[in-house]
Chains A and B, each alone.
Chain A
């Protein structure tokens, strides 16, 4: 049993872009969480990045475009675009807001962060290509396509992503401010990447795999999920080390989570999750599981009020 598990994780770790098409999203999520308990160091993550980096221009979206037009219902397309548009803009956002974080921290963490910035830029291009070549949104530049997909983004997107933008502003004033780094890291690494991103990945990739649709999207987004595994592991290391270094930092994590979970109560649009094979309650439980696993794996305790807020979590994937 142990040997089989190791084999699956090695397969996730070592698959090329062509091979990753056969990898199950659940195995990537297991791969992510397996390393959370020991948390690789920054240079380990950097070395892993060099091995796992993939070329977004190798993907061929021709079959995806056919699937989109001929094998997906209008309701499925609408739900898929609604859920993916938050990711399209989210990737842009985490790309542009990350460089300021790299100004602080250890030299090893800066080296690692350079790889994450490149990952996020590549993911932005992945969605740019998907929206151009499959969804057929108009536009010549990256901003044009972002503008075209923005109407599909929920109004509540400004919650976590506006928060991140302004936390990046706080960091710009003092990139070494430990409390500002922890607040930023809680929003970015724990909530946006550890909960929102992984939940959207699980939902859309399970749909693609079950229905045998959108092969290039499946490959690229599964590879993206493997990249996110590094990001979440690196981010959880940052939070864990910060709390170990100064237990007062736990308060910053809690206060940030209180804000995020407070915003989570607002839902402006209904996503037709059922058309992708999910009920709102299943999504809610998925999000709670993603959050609590990360917190427990890195030893972040929660006070009762936050536990109650988590119990009341809404299946709001765009806004947090």
Chain B
């Protein structure tokens, strides 16, 4: 088990944001896609094809050594491509189509591999602002993007804990 993760970017750093953009834009590997029926991915592909919304993902209590909370990751989608990922201030985040909030503990769970769909059901990840019905018309796309985000290695605290040991070995 690795104890230090100097190579992993800190959560809510610009480097991490870019790694997230790349991961969600790329989508799951063929291996991950094979775990679910093709119709599920076809549904997501169809939703994604015309997707132009933006998401602000919020950690209200990011530790001070990482810049302190609230921290906001903005992901902008244009015709199904994630064209921008940036760490932004609260004003810009408030302009996103959907604002999703999770406590720092919930972020840790997500990056430790917790089921993204279940986190939405239990409101560990909570739609804080945005039209609920419209949001759920693309819900499986959002869930799979959150799962992809969760697979991006990141440092979560000052001791340099890696959140995803599987990827640390790669």
Using CB atoms and an 8 Å cutoff, list the residues of chain A in contact with chain B.
89, 93, 150, 155-159, 161-163, 165-167, 169-170, 183, 255-256, 258-259, 262-263, 265-270
Contacts and interface: CB of A to CB of B under 8 A. Distances in A.
Contacts of A156: 40, 140
B40 A166 contact: no
Q: Is the interface of A mostly helix, strand, loop or mixed?
A: helix
A183 B44 CA distance: 24
A213 B139 CA distance: 38
Contacts of B44: 266
Contact residues of B: prevailing secondary structure: helix
Contact of A158 (B39, B127, B134, B139): B139
Interface residues of B, number: 24
A196 B120 CA distance: 20
Given A169-B127, A259-B133, A155 B122 contact: no
A170 B132 contact: yes
A170 to B, nearest CB: 6
A266 B136 contact: no
Contact of A270 (B37, B122, B126): B37
B123 interface: yes
A255 B137 CA distance: 11
- Residue with the highest number of chain B CB atoms closer than 10 Å, among A155, A157, A262: A155
Contacts of B120: 158, 162, 165-166
A155 B140 CA distance: 8
Contacts of B122: 165
Given A155-B117, A156-B140, A157-B117, A169 B126 contact: yes
B123 to A, nearest CB: 6
